[in-house]
Amino acid sequence: MSDFTIVPLDTTDHELVQSWLSAGQAVHEHDSVGLAGWHPVRSLVGLVQGYSDRDEFHWVAVFGGQVIGTSTMNLSTLDNTHMADIEVQVRPEHRRRGVGTALLQRMETEAAQAGRTTMSCWASVPIPDGPPISDSCIGFAAHHGYSDSLTTVTRRCDLDKVDDEELQQLWNQSMEAAEGFEVVVFEGTPPDDLIDGFAYLHGRMYTDMPLGEWDLQEADIDADRIRDWERQRREKGELHLQVAVRHKESGDVAGFTEIIIEGGREHHCFQGDTIVDPRFRGHKLGTILKIANQVRIREWRPKMRYVWTGNAETNHHMIAINEAVGYRKIYNEAVYQKKLS
Ligand SMILES: CC(C)(COP(=O)(O)OP(=O)(O)OC[C@H]1O[C@@H](n2cnc3c(N)ncnc32)[C@H](O)[C@@H]1OP(=O)(O)O)[C@@H](O)C(=O)NCCC(=O)NCCS
């Protein structure tokens, strides 16, 4: 099949954008059965948002006026300027005809022209007894010289199944180990006296998290960047629930965690970063953070049911906390990576 064309997505062409959304939905419903479900708001708003720390590009494969394949490439501009983060999707009925390859080649060419040397993408990988999601990316990535550089495990917490008494007990025990710390809860932009501490810890996520062979390099995150991320969340209609623990004596942010409730998504929400500063580890702060934020979800959204999180399979401490507060394995995600020569 060579009669399709690859073009940049014109975000002012409403029919094309609608067809782009429809392709995204078709792929999601075919390949991600049993996951969080199709929800277009984030993608749609993201098409027209301005970012201060990355450039985002979209190309589509068009056949007969319809989008049959989509691709997104993100180029970080303030850090990791060697990397191109990509995603490619092809409508199920148009697969194995070279559409994915054409989109991928377009992104690799553009990435190389922009001076990028490492291509990286996330792939869903089914696990035994998990939902019947597709593993199509694995063969496609291998065919194009990409290799698995980091395996992460995605877990889901079913809030209906969490035993509130057990959670309360765990909270009480954990608080006994956390003398000298206080819990601060808020939504959206961190308060002025915490924002620099948040920026520092967000930066540490790039170095403290197990990264396997994935070539993600450190990032210098500052308060302005945090404020810009919050602007983006507001524009997308997201509720951003955050909890910090503060070391009372020094006033330092000892750790934080965040949950993102996407605009208009009623039953599934997503765990973001969780980190405790190495200076303050060993006081059960990770458990305290996770429980404190988990109980807030239903205060805000009483019908919210599932919280999703992903961890490197070697991140044993975080996984132990997640399992203790109710998360269970659903599928794996792997980072596939290729160095451009
Ligand atoms: C992965 C995906 C983009 C491939 O699109 P496609 O248009 O079918 O890919 P191509 O036709 O260009 O495939 C090129 C080669 O990749 C390999 N390949 C593609 N899909 C494969 C699959 N499901 N299983 C094994 N190998 C596969 C084959 O070697 C294929 O060549 P062949 O058809 O001659 O055997 C598509 O299946 C898809 O949208 N999957 C869901 C979303 C996804 O996982 N995206 C990738 C993560 S970013």
> Does ligand 1 lie within 6 Å of residue 24's CB atom?
no
What single-letter DSSP state applies at residue 297?
A: H
In the chain, CATH 3.40.630.30 sits at: 5-116, 156-332
- Write the DSSP assignment of 284-295 as a string of letters: SHHHHHHHHHHH
Q: CATH assignment of 156-332?
A: 3.40.630.30
Please identify, by atom number, the ligand 1 atom nearest to the C-alpha of residue 102: 12
Separation of 86 CA from ligand 1 center, angstroms? 15
* pLDDT at residue 131, rounded to an integer: 97
- pLDDT category at 206 given cuts 50, 70, 90 is confident
* pLDDT at residue 83, rounded to an integer: 98
The residue to which tokens 């969780």 are assigned: 274
Q: CB of 48 within 8 A of CB of 11?
A: yes
* pLDDT at residue 207, rounded to an integer: 84
* pLDDT at residue 173, rounded to an integer: 97
Amino acid residing at 20? W
pLDDT, one tens digit per residue, over 10-58 is 999 999 999 999 999 999 999 999 999 999 999 999 999 999 999 999 9
Residue 232 has φ and ψ, to the nearest 5°, of -60, -40
**Residue with CA closest to ligand 1 atom 19:** 140
pLDDT, one tens digit per residue, over 254-287 is 999 999 999 999 999 999 999 999 999 999 999 9
The residue to which tokens 């989008």 are assigned: 67
pLDDT, one tens digit per residue, over 69-98 is 999 999 999 999 999 999 999 999 999 999
The mean per-residue pLDDT over the stretch 202-206 comes to 91
> Does ligand 1 lie within 6 Å of residue 143's CB atom?
yes
Separation of 143 CA from ligand 1 center, angstroms? 8
pLDDT, one tens digit per residue, over 103-122 is 999 999 999 999 999 999 99
* pLDDT at residue 302, rounded to an integer: 96
Query: Which of 74, 96, 138 is the pocket-test mutation for ligand 1 (most atoms within 8 Å of CB)?
Result: 96
Domain at 5-116, CATH class? alpha beta
CA angle 75, 153, 141 (to 5 degrees): 50
> Does ligand 1 lie within 6 Å of residue 27's CB atom?
yes
Token pair in block for residue 163: 């035993």
Nearest to 242 by CA among 265, 217, 263, 261: 261
Q: CB of 116 within 8 A of CB of 327?
A: no
pLDDT, one tens digit per residue, over 120-148 is 999 999 999 999 999 999 999 999 999 99
Separation of 128 CA from ligand 1 center, angstroms? 22
Query: Which of 136, 138, 331 is the pocket-test mutation for ligand 1 (most atoms within 8 Å of CB)?
Result: 136
> Does ligand 1 lie within 6 Å of residue 96's CB atom?
yes
Inform me whether the pLDDT recorded for 1 exceeds 70.
no
> Does ligand 1 lie within 6 Å of residue 70's CB atom?
no
Task: Give me the residues paired with residue 229 across strands.
Answer: none
**Residue with CA closest to ligand 1 atom 9:** 100
> Does ligand 1 lie within 6 Å of residue 294's CB atom?
no
Mean residue pLDDT of the chain comes to 96
> Does ligand 1 lie within 6 Å of residue 152's CB atom?
no
